[in-house]
Structure 1
Amino acid sequence: MSKLSKISFLFAGFSLVAMSITRYLLGDWVPFCWLALGLAVVFVLVGLIKDRAFFKEFFTMKTTKEGMSMGMLILLLLAVLGAVNYIGARHTKTWDFSSARVNTLSEQSIKLVKSLDSDLKVYFFYKKGVEGNEENRRLFRELIKKYQDHSSKVQLDFVEVNERPDLAQEYGVDKGSGVVFLDYKGRRNRIEKIDEQDFTSALVKVTREKNKTVYFTVGHGEKALSENKEGLGLGSLKSLLENNRYTVKELSLIQNAKIPEDADVIVVAGPVQGFQAFEIDALEGYLKNGGSLFLAIESQNTAGLEKLVAKMGVQFENNYILNQVETVMGKGINQGPTMGVIFSMNNKITKPFGRSEVTLFRYPQSLKKVDIVKGVIVDELVSTAPNAMAFPSMQIRGEGPEGTYALVDEVSGKWAGDESAKDFTAIIAGDVDFLTNQMLYQNLNRDLVLNSIAALAKEENLISITPKEPLATQMILTETKFGLFLFAFIIPLPILLLGTSVGLWLRRRNA
């Protein structure tokens, strides 16, 4: 190759480097970039034309052809790998082999995220240097990736609070421990826990276009909605519902026996004074018109509502259901919270509950199915274990009848079998204390309450998802099995390996 060609190719390289540096520093394509690119092309052409005979001879050599063939194969392989990676990045597929399916979204979450018709903006606010932020970001990125696999409308943005103070101020973020906001069509919701349950619940809230209204009856000694400090108040329940974008109001039927038109759900929580006949008539008319009712009644105080529930095929037993426990003295009665451990696996309210989980009630009464009205279905949502006992009062003497007792029922159908009536839904519970501040967040009580309200409000998407927990595989060895494992495996195996090693060493030494 001539000296002129070498100089031409060298200047062509300098021109390309100058073009690249200029583009990088300025961040945009400027006229100088065109000039540098043009000079590089000119210098390459000068070099090729000057030594065209040399390049013609070079490309006709056998070694060159073989090298070019190998180069083409390498380029083809790289192209195939690039195409496979591109397709894989655009169309991902994952397999979850965990026994509890902890790495897979629930059907509810998948259905909800696929229904998005606009971009869902997810902002993760953090501060650099805060302990644990990197791990939180990693976990949250993995969670959001599961949603993004089902919809391209989920957009995740990590926001450093100090770098974007305007956005942090707009969303009211004043700390950097990993605060997350969902923004969908201008509707926002904040979450601080990184799991599918809270993210999907927040997603339901921002996609809901209209708040549902829940009315709590007053005037009969019901549990107080405004009570936040006392354990038997309903202040925590009110806050929980409002945080789930429900509008909570009070309803005094004794002053005006008319059900508001915006009533999506009516809750009767532990009345101690009787309902008047005109109030019960208003509730019956509401149910006949397709209403949704939540009744939580204490034992020995049905407040005159036994006739109302009897028309739905349910009877209050006015007893006290307690669990049996095993003690060193034999069987005993646990006078603490009564556990509901059997859940209806066919009902959307309790279907997400695990078999090893429980709901807790304080001295509940049992519910009994009576003459079922045609067109009305009674589903026992929560029941006790088969060894629970029933007592007529809290003065426990001897043993009561043993069996499985229903504590919460769902009733649905047409009121009094009237074909012209609309379909109603009612949740009847033999206890009210599981709704109170003291017990609402114990075990599955919160999920039972929220799922019931969501079902009554005809919002199946808001039914909460029970967190998935990895299942441990236990290996339980009896004394006989452990002895067999010890003398058939643990002891012989090292001896066998040692003997084999010594034998090989002696054989090699004497060879």
Structure 2
Amino acid sequence: MKTATKTKKNYWQYLFLLGPFLILMGLTAGTVAGSWGIVPLGLIAAGAVLSVLGLVWQAYKTKWWKRRSTQAGTNAIAATLAVLVILGLINFLATRYQTRIDFTETGLYTLAPQSREIVQNLSQPVKVWVFDRNQNPQDRALLENYRRQGSQFSFEYVDPQTRPGIAQKFGVRSFGDVYVEAGNRRQFVQSVGQGRLSEVQLTTKIQQVTSDRAGKVYFLQGHGEVGIGEQSKLSSALNTLKDRNFAAEPLNLVQQAKIPQDATVVIVASPKRGLFPQEVKALSAYLERGGSLMLLLDPNTNPNLDSLLQNWGLTLDNRVIIDPAGQAIGFGPAFAVVDNYGQHPITQDFGNNLSIFGGARAIDSKPVTGVEATPILQTSAESWAESNIQSQPLQFNPQSDRKGPLTIGYALNRIVSAEPVANSAPKTTQARMVVIGNAQFAIDGLFEQQLNGDVFLNSISWLSSQDNKQTLSVRPKEQKQRRLNLTPLQINLLGWISLVILPVIGFACAVLLWWLRR
């Protein structure tokens, strides 16, 4: 009897093995016949039922769920699934919400605020064409950064040999040429055949190709001001103005009584001698009609602008500012270091970054009806205005000197007219003025230092934009080269330390630990 019962159980086991066989028969029949009728589907269904019953019977027979190994295996599977779910959720969130952290010194993999603002505020599609057979990963990463900022930006790599028509359309001369296109306007950016794509160049060209206006900046001449000719000390500043569609022209108010109507901004840069009364009157009249004036006034000079400045509530201090921070960074005590900026569009993105002013004077302000004056550049509390720059050593004298912090830059505006407009608020015209007690920060050599160029360019942008549509921000910075130059002795020493000395020390520590535990 026991043998017969055991045989029946074996028969049941073989019966369940027919399940996978029936499923295979059904799939074969359906595939060969080309149609899934009753027979193939019936075989598949019968095989599935037998397979499920076989699994249930086998589980009941072995009671595998009560085994310790099964419980451990179940816990391991659950933990594995949990890890997979967490990883999948992290990847989903990373794909949906991209967050990048740039730890490089100059923000090498992060676009400057100006670049982001320009791309985010594009009013028309802009496309960058890179004519090269190879795609530099760093250049492509930079272009991807631009594309992430706005849907109006795109880029494409083109092989000039396989698509000669497009290359001829842009006038490509060599592999690596980069062009930016907006509508019917195109600008050559640079050639990346022997280098990397520059964010500075690309942002500048995007701004040029999308700008629909060109401003004109007049520099007053005739009183020892910094010139704008071929040998000008302002060549860096003039080149950046050109990149932003500003044309620079000299202005002589002795030869012409009025400031030209096409003047976007008038700059008076470090006059060594006083202006004539009629020139001051012309500048005042220019402001009264809604003009924009930038005054860069070094100490120990008398530009004869007191009457104009007093109408705006400003007074010049003729003493030279001394700042120990300038000495600490290697420039000298007469270089004022600024990291405190006012809440103004010119300086809104400066944070606590530095700007440097060599030989600066303080400016005082008092309230004037209708004039809004904002201090934009302020020195530290350790600085002071020195009355005797020739004294040695330079020390603060409370009887004759003035303790910091000192304001060396103001941005001012006043409403000069309000024209009524039907069914809307009156259209106002503002006169704007930026006064800085220093001009040396804008000359070659200092213009490229820290935020000096940004102070100059943002001031011009604010002065020239009555509609407040001009982008004001920090310019993109070029990559800094950081190389470690080692002598042969240092290289050998580094090799011995990493390959011999450190491994021997580690092995000795391990032996000592083993000996102590033994």
Q: The TM-score by the shorter chain falls in which range?
A: 0.5 to 0.7
Report deviation, 1:349: 1.3
Which of 406, 422, 429 does residue 422 from structure 1 map onto?
Answer: 429
The question of whether the paired residues in 2 share the 8 Å contact of 1:182 and 1:188 is answered with yes
Provide the C-alpha distance between the structure 1 equivalents of 2:389 and 2:185, rounded to a whole number of angstroms: 50
Provide the C-alpha distance between the structure 2 equivalents of 1:341 and 1:198, rounded to a whole number of angstroms: 28
- CA shift in 2, pair 1:48/1:161, >3 Å: closer
2:503 corresponds in structure 1 to none
| Cα distance per residue 1:92-111 (max 9 Å; x no partner) | 43234669996776776555
Matches within 5 A, 1:352-431: 352-355=349-352, 357-369=353-365, 371-397=366-392, 399-400=395-396, 401=401, 402-414=403-415, 422-431=429-438
Which of 160, 185, 190 does residue 187 from structure 1 map onto?
Answer: 185
**Residue identity in the other structure for 2:317:** E
Identity %: 25
1:439 corresponds in structure 2 to 446
2:224 corresponds in structure 1 to 221
The question of whether the paired residues in 2 share the 8 Å contact of 1:389 and 1:403 is answered with yes
| Cα distance per residue 1:6-50 (max 9 Å; x no partner) | xxxxxxxxxxxxxxxxxxxxxxxxxxxxxxxxxxxxxx999437x
1:62 corresponds in structure 2 to 47
The question of whether the paired residues in 1 share the 8 Å contact of 2:180 and 2:187 is answered with yes
Number of residue pairs matched by the alignment: 405
**Residue identity in the other structure for 1:404:** P
| Structure with greater Cα Rg | 2
**Residue identity in the other structure for 1:61:** A
The question of whether the paired residues in 1 share the 8 Å contact of 2:268 and 2:295 is answered with yes
- CA shift in 2, pair 1:221/1:127, >3 Å: farther
Provide the C-alpha distance between the structure 2 equivalents of 1:187 and 1:66, rounded to a whole number of angstroms: 71
| Cα distance per residue 1:430-480 (max 9 Å; x no partner) | 1112221232112211111111111111165432335599xxxxxxxxxxx
- Local SS of the residue matching 2:34: helix
Report deviation, 1:414: 3.2
1:276 corresponds in structure 2 to 276
- Local SS of the residue matching 1:422: strand
- Give the RMSD, CA atoms, in angstroms: 4.4
- Local SS of the residue matching 1:368: strand
- CA shift in 2, pair 1:97/1:236, >3 Å: closer
1:23 corresponds in structure 2 to none
The question of whether the paired residues in 1 share the 8 Å contact of 2:266 and 2:293 is answered with yes
Report deviation, 1:121: 0.8
- CA shift in 2, pair 1:172/1:446, >3 Å: farther
Matches within 5 A, 1:109-508: 112-126=118-132, 128=134, 134=135, 137-164=136-163, 167-168=166-167, 171=170, 173-174=172-173, 176=175, 179-191=177-189, 194=197, 199-228=202-231, 233-324=233-324, 335=332, 338-355=335-352, 357-369=353-365, 371-397=366-392, 399-400=395-396, 401=401, 402-414=403-415, 422-458=429-465, 461-465=470-474
The question of whether the paired residues in 2 share the 8 Å contact of 1:189 and 1:206 is answered with yes
- Local SS of the residue matching 2:97: coil
- CA shift in 2, pair 1:166/1:273, >3 Å: farther
Provide the C-alpha distance between the structure 2 equivalents of 1:173 and 1:393, rounded to a whole number of angstroms: 60
- CA shift in 2, pair 1:179/1:500, >3 Å: farther
- CA shift in 2, pair 1:140/1:335, >3 Å: closer
Gaps of 5+ in 1: 1-43, 68-80, 129-133, 470-490, 504-511
Report deviation, 1:315: 1.1
Provide the C-alpha distance between the structure 1 equivalents of 2:244 and 2:49, rounded to a whole number of angstroms: 72
Provide the C-alpha distance between the structure 2 equivalents of 1:396 and 1:191, rounded to a whole number of angstroms: 51
TM-score by length of 2: 0.65
Report deviation, 1:278: 2.0
| Cα distance per residue 1:124-143 (max 9 Å; x no partner) | 23354xxxxx5xx3233333
- CA shift in 2, pair 1:152/1:342, >3 Å: closer
TM-score by length of 1: 0.66
Provide the C-alpha distance between the structure 2 equivalents of 1:319 and 1:257, rounded to a whole number of angstroms: 33
**Residue identity in the other structure for 1:379:** T
The question of whether the paired residues in 2 share the 8 Å contact of 1:211 and 1:245 is answered with yes
Provide the C-alpha distance between the structure 2 equivalents of 1:427 and 1:209, rounded to a whole number of angstroms: 25
Report deviation, 1:391: 2.0
The question of whether the paired residues in 2 share the 8 Å contact of 1:358 and 1:443 is answered with yes
- Local SS of the residue matching 2:150: coil
- CA shift in 2, pair 1:257/1:299, >3 Å: same
Q: Does 1:95 align with 2:99?
A: yes
The question of whether the paired residues in 2 share the 8 Å contact of 1:92 and 1:149 is answered with no
- CA shift in 2, pair 1:465/1:420, >3 Å: closer
- CA shift in 2, pair 1:421/1:119, >3 Å: closer
- Local SS of the residue matching 2:409: strand
2:65 corresponds in structure 1 to none
Provide the C-alpha distance between the structure 2 equivalents of 1:442 and 1:466, rounded to a whole number of angstroms: 12
Provide the C-alpha distance between the structure 2 equivalents of 1:196 and 1:55, rounded to a whole number of angstroms: 66
- Local SS of the residue matching 2:262: coil
Report deviation, 1:171: 4.3
The question of whether the paired residues in 1 share the 8 Å contact of 2:325 and 2:337 is answered with no
Gaps of 5+ in 2: 1-29, 53-84, 191-195, 419-425, 479-505
- CA shift in 2, pair 1:307/1:326, >3 Å: closer
The question of whether the paired residues in 2 share the 8 Å contact of 1:213 and 1:247 is answered with yes
